[in-house]
Amino acid sequence: MFNQPNRKASRERRHRRLRKKIFGLPERPRLAVFRSLHHIYAQVIDDTRGVTLAAASTLDAEVKQALTGSPGSVAGAKAVGAAIARRALAKGIKKVVFDRGGHLYHGRVKALAEAAREVGLEF
């Protein structure tokens, strides 16, 4: 029999491959997405200084109030995308580089990205 890689190892391998190309600069920081089974997290990161400039997740009080369904759903991802975009724009960040964290661009990751674009982030 042959050995199949598990899903987590495959995602981590894709993420390492992506991170070789994606780097957050002060004028265009990185919007990093982490997706767990029950929650979704987003950070705007300046990789030159190693500093998180803005963050949002389904655990935030502001996002919880706006959320009607499960925090691990597409609705939760949309709420987080809108929140991270508002927080980034408040700090003067309009353009970012999108880091999907090795996840495929569909479902919750896509919903977060589209919600952030609707609010005004450019990527």
1 lies in some domain? no
**Each residue of 64-95: pLDDT tens digit?**
888 877 888 999 999 999 999 999 999 999 99
Say yes or no to pLDDT of 46 above 70.
yes
CATH of the domain at 44: 3.30.420.100
What domain range includes position 24? 7-119
pLDDT score recorded for residue 2: 57
- Residue burial 1-36, b: 16+ Cβ < 10 Å; e: rest: eeeeeeeeeebeeebeeeeeeeebeeebbbbbbbbe
**Each residue of 95-118: pLDDT tens digit?**
999 999 999 999 999 999 999 999
Domain total of the chain: 1
94 lies in some domain? yes
84 lies in some domain? yes
Q: Quote the pTM value.
A: 0.89
Residues 44, 24: Cα–Cα separation, whole Å: 9
67 lies in some domain? yes
104 lies in some domain? yes
106 lies in some domain? yes
Residues 87, 96: Cα–Cα separation, whole Å: 13
